[in-house]
Structure 1
Amino acid sequence: MFGILVIGILFVLRVNGDFLAQERTRGATLKPISACCDIPELGDPEPLRECSNPKLSGPCNDVQCVFEKSGFLTDKQSLNKEAYRAHLRKWLEGHKEWSDAIEKAIKDCVDRDLRQYLDYPCRAYDVFTCTGIAMLKKCPKDAWKC
């Protein structure tokens, strides 16, 4: 009799536990808003491939590698503004719905020198992060997932 009671209690706890877990997954979340906008890949395939084998660790090294191989830096800490601006505008030719986002990225991230304030300076990271934020702010409705 005691065994049946224990099994019954465990069953009730299991069912209620599942119900409570389901309730927590519905409704509002605090996931990063960046997860809500499906931003297409901005990089060209060749530099992305070259900088992926092996993938470089740290918040800067892989982005730095892609920026260097793409010609977006004149040296380790100086953005080649003309090259990056031209790349974004060329990318836009295949992604017309992103025109407001690209113009915001050029205005905020290429025409101005912003810092994202990592513990160490990384111009590629600063520009790339700024670009992502600008594109998120102007995410087209068709790319919005949340």
Structure 2
Amino acid sequence: MNNNFYVFQYVNGDFLTQERSRGATLKPISACCDIPELGDPKHLTECSNPKLPGPCNDVQCVFEKSGFLIDKNTLNKEIYRAHLRKWLEGHKGWEDAIEKAIKDCVDKDLRQYLDYPCRAYDVFTCTGIAMLKKCPKEAWNC
């Protein structure tokens, strides 16, 4: 008895020239906005080798090395705000997203509610959500 199953897929020869239509997806919407890297490559490397465990430690490390925290629980709002505005100089089109991130994540003290408090995670997650909400059309890929 042969239990092998074969699947054949028909491919239209024009598929390279046709615009691909994307079907519905349930992947996280964050995958649909190509947000450029916000961190300094030097600090990202320093905090990645070895990769720190847990949802907070690597973000905490980058925030500490970048000077974004006064202490573990206090955002250095002036430094983080200045970083986001400096980042914007090289990323035209993200003005609305950065202003939303500053308004929602720097000017306010939001919690993202991990099982344990982590100010760096709170600010970083809030920033990503704010940028996603104001994702420029050119960066949207879903």
TM range (shorter): 0.7 to 0.9
> Which residue is equivalent to 1:54?
50
Q: 1:101 aligns with which of 97, 100, 118?
A: 97
Any runs of at least 4 consecutive aligned residues in structure 1 with deviations exceeding 4 A, and if so which?
A: none
Unaligned stretches of 5+ in structure 1? 1-5, 20-25
5 Å-filtered alignment, 1:115-134, equals: 115-134=111-130
Question: Between Structure 1 and Structure 2, whose CA radius of gyration is higher?
Answer: 1
Unaligned stretches of 5+ in structure 2? 10-21
Question: Could you tell me the percent identity over the aligned residues?
Answer: 84
Alignment of 1:144 with 2:136, yes or no, is no
- Greater alpha carbon shift after TM alignment, 51-60 vs 102-111: 51-60
- Partners of 1:31 and 1:65 lie apart in 2 by 28
> Which residue is equivalent to 2:18?
none
**TM-score relative to the length of structure 1:** 0.84
Count of residue correspondences? 130
- Partners of 2:138 and 2:35 lie apart in 1 by 11
Q: Which has a greater percent of helix?
A: 1
Give the match's secondary structure for 2:70.
Answer: strand
- Partners of 2:25 and 2:127 lie apart in 1 by 25
> Which residue is equivalent to 1:42?
38
The root-mean-square deviation of aligned C-alpha atoms, in Å, is 1.5
- Partners of 2:138 and 2:92 lie apart in 1 by 12
**TM-score relative to the length of structure 2:** 0.87
Q: 2:6 aligns with which of 11, 14, 25?
A: 14
